[in-house]
Amino acid sequence: MYRYTRSYTGPVQAVILDLAGTCVDFGSLAPIQAFLKLFESEGLSLSEAEAREPMGTEKREHIRQLLVMPRVRQQWLERFDLAPTDDDIERLYQAFVPFQLQSIVQRSELIPGALKLQEFARAHGIKLGVNTGYSREMVDVMLSELIRQGFEPESVVCATEVPMGRPAPYMSFCNAIELGVTAVQGCVKVDDTATGIEEGLNAGMWTVAVVASGNAVGLSREQFDRLEDAARAERLALAHSKMALSGAHYLIDSIAELPEVLACIQDRIEAGDCP
């Protein structure tokens, strides 16, 4: 026998944001700078495009995915004569951490719109959480900078603190529990990577992909603003096309546009729509 269950029609309860490229570090450059320095220190060549491909994953997993890329793997074999092992990945991760901490300090400026989003959320009773592929050690460095700028999320979850990182839904679930969410249909996951969007979809949440400030464009705010109008439009169009493949419910250029999207999602929830 089938039992009819009424759709959730309550309020948007929580917004769960990624960090780098979504609410801080325009262009998501801190991880890229750290990975490039790491591989350079090992005598290996790594392009920025290669470094960005696994973005959104926990950093040990990121390193593992880099090492299975054909060009990178071939370099490794030529240099070390053996395939990389779990011990190699752990050694690389430990070497990566200082590079990442240094980059985070340099790239902790809030993306324009983050504080207004926080004001909007508080005014509408929406809880605000963040999750990330960073470890707690890395996040603590970044959070102190964010708090100094006035941004104070109510829940912070790291990939190293759950059974599996993205695209598994566990970080978002953990955020939802910490924020006191009673229905995942009332949650919105916001991310600049396809892996992060997949996390939100796997959690049964509404998803919003951030394009201009994130991994898909991959430029600092200064670099982005210096582009000629035609070049900027072309770059954005390509990035939108790429992020559309993630299956996100909405695509926006930056979180400055998120309050309007949240209002739209609220209307859809009240009309009986589900993620």
Q: How far is CA 273 from CA 46, 204, 253, in A?
A: 44, 13, 24
Concerning whether 37 is annotated as a catalytic residue, the answer is no
The torsion of the CA quartet 107, 205, 251, 262, rounded to 10 degrees, works out to -90
Q: Which residue has the tokens 């695509």?
A: 251
Q: How far apart are CA 211 and CA 135, in angstroms?
A: 24
Which of 18, 25, 191, 192 is the catalytic position? 18
b (16+ CB within 10 A) / e for 222-255? eebeeeeeeebeebbeebbeebeebebbbbbbbb
Q: How far apart are CA 246 and CA 123, in angstroms?
A: 30
Which of 37, 59, 127, 189 is the catalytic position? 59
Structure-block tokens of residue 72: 């990178």
Q: How far apart are CA 186 and CA 120, in angstroms?
A: 16
Angle at 227 between CA 226 and CA 230, to 5 degrees: 150
Phi, psi angles (nearest 5°) of residue 174:
-65, -45
Say how many Å lie between the first and final Cα of the chain, rounded.
25
Concerning whether 18 is annotated as a catalytic residue, the answer is yes
The residues annotated as belonging to the active site are: 18, 59
